[in-house]
Amino acid sequence: MVLQTSVSHLKLAILSLAIYVHQTWSTSVKEHLEQGTQLLRTGNLGEALNHYHAAVEGDAKNYQAFYQRATVFLALGRHRQALSDFDTVIRLKPDFHHAKSERGSVLMKQGRVAEARAQFTDLLTVDPDKAQAGLSDLPVLEHAIEEGDEYFDNGDFATAVDHYDVAIDIAKWDTGLREKRAETYLKIGNIINAIGDVRAIAKLTNDNTEAYLKLSQLHYIMGEEEESLKEIRECLKLDQDHKECHAHYKKVKKLVKQLTKAQELINEGAYSDAVAKLKAALKTESSEEKIVLKVQSRLCLCNKQGSFVEDCLTTCTTVLEHETQDIEALVNRAECLILNEDFEGAIKDYQTAQGITDSKHIKDGLHRAEKLLKLSKKRDYYKILGVPRNADKSQINKAYRKKAKEFHPDKFTEEADKAEAEKKFIDIAAAKEVLTDDEKRQQFDNGEDPLDPETEQGRNFHQQHFNGFPFGGGGQQFHFKFQ
């Protein structure tokens, strides 16, 4: 009798505990649902989702908890998880027609035409308006895909894209459709839009190493090596042993390192070292057009800044053969043409650049090239000494001494020869005066002759430097020092 009483008391205790736990869980689920709804109203989707997770864990038969969580999944773009929750809702409450309508919409956006049609057909008798709205889109989707495929097979890729656009407007989560459109975009050379579709595919599918590899390759083709490196790292995060991703990663990483170092050297003004690093980059990548062009463009700049005239003209011309309106390459080549004494070529490049954008920098460059052309027809001090425009002072002094000895008037006996030598001798001395004086040389490089005989400075120079040292019988006297 005592034993039976004890067992009865135990059963009663267990029942009471079960009732208490159920009441506690029910209260907790209700609170989570209320808090989730409040957070939804403020747009805090992440926190709302946490409460709906807790509600589902608290009561696996509460169809409202699953439905609310599904709506948040949809708002977050997690359609596969939303579809799973809608399936659960309909299993728990078969007459929840709104959940069926939402499920049909998800299926249609995923491109699952047959399943979407079956779902909307099931709704016809209970919610004909929503059912008909869904059913009316499905034939449009099917026709757009069929037409797009046909135009693609016939090589009319532009028209195929138009049809795939219509299809994707309806089935935006269909990765197969996006793959078709991405491939079609590539056929017409629209890499940017292809990247958009491949990126969407990577987001729509889990652990898609192939999508990240494709993204990296497309960015690389676009000449976006840093973005390419970022995407290939995503591939390796998913599969560190992926052979294609690893091989591409090694190449892109090496190129990025070389280009980054080259830019650092450019910023430091170490143009020779930057050129060496850029040439190494061309060995790393010698065929991908956009990458090669980017490297050539930087070589064009470095060669101009370093006054490596011949290489400057070669690299800048290479860039302009592919990008005829590249303003930077036009200006850099113009400056190198000036160093090469091709003022007419420099004027042409500046005029082309000015036709693209009428900036003060370009206008000033054109004006300077025009003045230099005009000046070259009078007296060119670089040509007089026979030195390049980027010659340093030691080169100038050496050329000056050589020329001065060659044309010293005392070396000539015939009056005509002596007179010609005297004229050249004056020009040689003037060239040395200008080109060894930083301020005067800058004036000349800007198209102004600081010793123009028609100016006061020019006349003073002649008076100061060509009187006092007699030779010959012509009465003209010179002050002259070899340095």
What's the pLDDT tens digit per position in 251-309? 999 999 999 999 999 999 999 999 999 999 999 999 999 999 999 999 999 999 999 99
Strand (E) or helix (H) holding 368: helix 360-376
More confident of the two residues 134 and 377: 134
* 3-class secondary structure, 402: helix
User: Is 421 part of a structural domain of the chain?
Assistant: yes
User: Is 231 part of a structural domain of the chain?
Assistant: no
Domain count, the chain: 1
User: Is 419 part of a structural domain of the chain?
Assistant: yes
The pLDDT, as a whole number, for residue 459 is 60
Looking at 22-31, 149-158, 173-182, 296-305, which range is the least confident one? 22-31
- At residue 14, what is the residue type? I
Query: Mean pLDDT, to the nearest integer, of 63-79?
Result: 93
Residue 454 structure tokens: 């028609």
Predicted confidence band at 245 (pLDDT cuts at 50, 70, 90)? very high
pLDDT of 477 strictly over 50: no
- Is residue 469 within 8 A of residue 478, CB to CB? The reply is yes
Predicted confidence band at 469 (pLDDT cuts at 50, 70, 90)? very low
Residue 46 structure tokens: 């992440």
pLDDT of 463 strictly over 90: no
- How does the average pLDDT of the chain come out, rounded? 87
More confident of the two residues 195 and 423: 195
307: left (phi over 0), alpha (psi -120 to 50) or beta: left
Rounded distance, CA 110 to CA 114, Å? 11
Residue 267 structure tokens: 């910023």
**Angle subtended by helix axes 97-109 and 128-153, to nearest 10:** 10
Residues contacting 67, CB < 8 A, separation 6+: 85, 86, 89, 96, 99
Nearest 5°: the CA angle 328, 332, 334 is 120
Rg value, the chain, Cα: 40
User: Is 163 part of a structural domain of the chain?
Assistant: no
User: Is 345 part of a structural domain of the chain?
Assistant: no
Beta bridge partner(s), residue 477: 470
- Is residue 143 within 8 A of residue 167, CB to CB? The reply is no
pLDDT of 403 strictly over 90: no
Q: pTM to 2 decimals?
A: 0.73
pLDDT of 156 strictly over 70: yes
Q: Which of 281, 343, 341 is nearest to 315 (CA)?
A: 281
Find the domain containing 401 and state its range. Answer: 384-483
What CATH number is attached to the domain comprising 456?
1.10.287.110
User: Is 404 part of a structural domain of the chain?
Assistant: yes
User: Is 210 part of a structural domain of the chain?
Assistant: no
The pLDDT, as a whole number, for residue 471 is 38
User: Is 413 part of a structural domain of the chain?
Assistant: yes
The pLDDT, as a whole number, for residue 419 is 74
The number of CA neighbours under 13 Å toward the Cβ of 106 is: 22
Strand (E) or helix (H) holding 178: helix 175-187
Rounded distance, CA 341 to CA 381, Å? 12
Query: For the chain, what percent of residues have pLDDT higher than 70?
Result: 88
Q: Which of 238, 179, 189, 188 is nearest to 214 (CA)?
A: 179
More confident of the two residues 78 and 453: 78
* 3-class secondary structure, 306: coil
Residue with token string 């599969």: 239
Predicted confidence band at 404 (pLDDT cuts at 50, 70, 90)? confident
- Is residue 433 within 8 A of residue 464, CB to CB? The reply is no
Looking at 206-210, 242-246, 272-276, 421-425, which range is the least confident one? 421-425
What are all long-range contacts of 128-134, with beta carbons under 8 Å and residues at least 24 apart?
130/101, 131/101, 131/104, 134/101, 134/104, 134/105, 134/108
Beta bridge partner(s), residue 470: 477
Query: Mean pLDDT, to the nearest integer, of 398-416?
Result: 79
Rounded distance, CA 360 to CA 327, Å? 13
